[in-house]
């Protein structure tokens, strides 16, 4: 299989990257909500699960210098398959919270490790021209994986529960057991598939890890990073640009799912999986494609402010829905799609800024530090505190707070320096 064509493994590789991430970062939110946890607890626990993606640059040198990336990919997929199946076993037990959280922590670290090795394998496994050719394929199949996870499987859980709220705890537990058995089985099958299909492109198998040498390398990367021009404004932009979306990410699913008495829209899993997990992800993908095209056409400097408005102003749809709750799925779906398309547009500009900032010496390592900062300031910290805020002031006031934090996005955008070389 050494000459496996890219079409045989690039789509499945990025499918395998998306499925465990969706399980840890979104499916867990829905499951914990249906098993009776409060918003504060859900966002606190699942927010901390984002830590591995923040600190993964710390152990990425181990993956580069021990075994092969192919070995890491296959190993992590098997580990995640087993851990996802173990989530299913722990759901009906008396220690379901401790058990599922322990498995989610393992899956999160394995998934972050898989991301490092998969992205590295993509670079060494394909020539430059094919990397450019398949970048759209990898992004598309990553989003397909998200649709399968937070769309199809959540929808399937709803069908197993009868598609209605108020099902017994036993039926809820049983539905999530089946979902995580399916996820575990999919990851295990992907591991088997990649054990045979991934090309053996790495000539050397590393069996030693020189800790002192890697610390020196990491120190050199940090030196390059901190000597970048306009570092302070860049750090503020990297850490704070996504703050409003980071607050929304954990709360919107809970808002859509909570009962009307709790201030939510009382959506069942079937409707949630279709609208937020499927149409929302498709909207995010479309926004990303259009945003990337716009920047390639007119340059980042010209496109930055229009795309910033796209990622912030559509957040107002949740203020509207909180004041005028409805069971009209067309209206809810339209609001979610508008917000997610805007998110995709703005995130394209943000990602391209990270790429631009990382250019030069040690660009790959610098980019990994940037993405760690992105996950810290735009996912983990706002995710942890979002439930505490919404739990104390309610969904309506929470969404106004999100709109107020859009001013932070405007401020860091106004300060950031864009080195745009496009004519």
Residue-wise pLDDT for 26-60, tens only, equals 999 999 999 989 999 999 999 999 999 999 888 87
173 and 214 together in one domain: no
Same domain, residue pair 328 and 193: no
Specify whether 250 is located in the same domain as 173: no
Residue range 209-248, pLDDT digits in tens:
666 777 787 788 888 888 888 899 999 999 999 999 999 9
Assigned domain for 49 exists: yes
Residues 276 and 153 in one domain: no
Same structural domain, 234 and 279? yes
Contacts of 291 (CB under 8 A, 6+ apart): 303, 307, 310, 344, 345, 346, 347, 348, 349
Q: Are residues 389 and 271 in the same domain?
A: yes
Rounded Cα gap, residues 46 and 250, in angstroms: 9
- The residue from 162, 188, 207 where one domain ends is 207
Q: Tokens 């991934």 label which residue?
A: 198
Among 176, 207, 238, identify where a domain stops.
207
Residues 47, 168 share a domain? yes
User: Distance from CA of residue 358 to its chain's centroid?
Assistant: 21
pTM of the model as a whole: 0.86
Instruction: Find how far residue 405's CA is from the centre of its chain.
Output: 21
Choosing from 207, 229, 250, the residue where a domain stops is 207
* Same domain? 197 vs 217: no
Q: From first to last of the 423 residues of the chain, give the pLDDT tens digit.
A: 444 688 889 899 999 999 999 999 999 999 999 998 999 999 999 999 999 999 988 887 778 777 888 999 999 999 999 999 999 999 989 899 999 999 999 999 999 999 888 888 887 887 767 766 677 778 788 888 988 988 889 988 888 887 444 455 458 888 999 999 999 999 999 999 999 999 888 766 656 666 677 778 778 888 888 888 889 999 999 999 999 999 999 999 999 999 999 999 999 888 999 999 888 889 988 988 888 888 888 888 888 999 999 999 999 999 999 999 999 999 999 999 999 999 989 988 898 888 888 888 777 778 888 888 888 998 899 999 999 999 999 999 999 999 999 999 999 999 998 865 544
- In this structure, the answer to whether residues 216 and 329 fall within a common structural domain is yes
Is residue 151 domain-shared with residue 236, that is, in the same domain? no
User: 303 and 180: one domain?
Assistant: no
Task: Let me know if residue 423 belongs to a domain.
Answer: no
Question: Does residue 175 share a domain with residue 249?
Answer: no
- Whether the CA torsion 231, 375, 134, 123 is positive or negative: it is positive
Q: What is the CATH number of the domain that holds 37?
A: 1.20.1250.20
Range of the domain at 391: 210-418
């Amino acid at each position: 299989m050494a000459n496996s064509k890219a079409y045989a493994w690039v789509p499945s590789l990025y499918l395998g990257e998306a499925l465990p991430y969706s399980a840890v970062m979104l499916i867990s939110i829905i499951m914990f909500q249906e098993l009776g946890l409060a918003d504060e607890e859900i966002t606190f626990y699942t927010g901390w699960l984002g830590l591995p993606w923040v600190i993964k640059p710390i152990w990425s040198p181990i993956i580069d210098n021990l075994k092969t990336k192919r070995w890491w990919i296959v190993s992590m997929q098997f580990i995640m398959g087993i851990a996802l199946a173990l989530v299913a076993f722990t759901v009906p037990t008396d220690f379901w919270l401790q058990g599922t959280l322990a498995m989610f922590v393992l899956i999160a670290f394995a998934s972050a490790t898989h991301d490092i090795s998969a992205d590295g394998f993509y670079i060494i496994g394909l020539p430059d021209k094919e990397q450019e050719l398949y970048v759209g394929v990898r992004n598309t199949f990553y989003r397909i994986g998200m649709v399968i996870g937070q769309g199809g499987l959540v929808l399937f859980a709803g069908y197993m529960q009868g598609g209605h709220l108020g099902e017994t705890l036993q039926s809820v537990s049983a539905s999530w057991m089946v979902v995580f058995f399916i996820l575990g089985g999919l990851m295990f099958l992907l591991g088997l598939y990649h054990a045979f299909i991934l090309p053996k492109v790495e000539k050397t198998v590393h069996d030693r890890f020189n800790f002192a040498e890697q610390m020196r390398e990491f120190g050199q990367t940090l030196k390059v990073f901190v000597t970048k021009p306009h570092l302070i404004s860049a750090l503020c932009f990297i850490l704070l640009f996504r703050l409003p979306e980071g607050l929304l990410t954990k709360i919107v699913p809970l808002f859509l799912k909570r009962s009307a008495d709790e201030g939510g829209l009382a959506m069942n899993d079937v409707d949630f999986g279709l609208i937020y997990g499927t149409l929302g992800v498709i909207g995010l993908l479309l926004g990303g494609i259009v945003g990337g095209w716009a920047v390639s056409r007119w340059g980042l400097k010209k496109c930055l402010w229009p795309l910033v408005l796209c990622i912030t102003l559509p957040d107002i749809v949740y203020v509207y829905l909180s004041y005028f709750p409805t069971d009209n799925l067309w209206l809810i779906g339209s609001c979610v799609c508008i917000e997610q398309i805007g998110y995709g547009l703005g995130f394209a500009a943000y990602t391209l800024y990270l790429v631009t900032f990382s250019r030069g010496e040690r660009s790959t390592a610098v980019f990994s530090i940037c993405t760690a900062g992105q996950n810290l300031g735009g996912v983990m910290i706002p995710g942890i505190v979002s439930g505490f805020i919404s739990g104390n002031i309610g969904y309506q006031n929470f969404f106004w707070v999100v709109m107020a934090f859009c001013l932070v996005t405007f401020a860091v955008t106004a300060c950031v320096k864009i080195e745009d070389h496009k004519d």
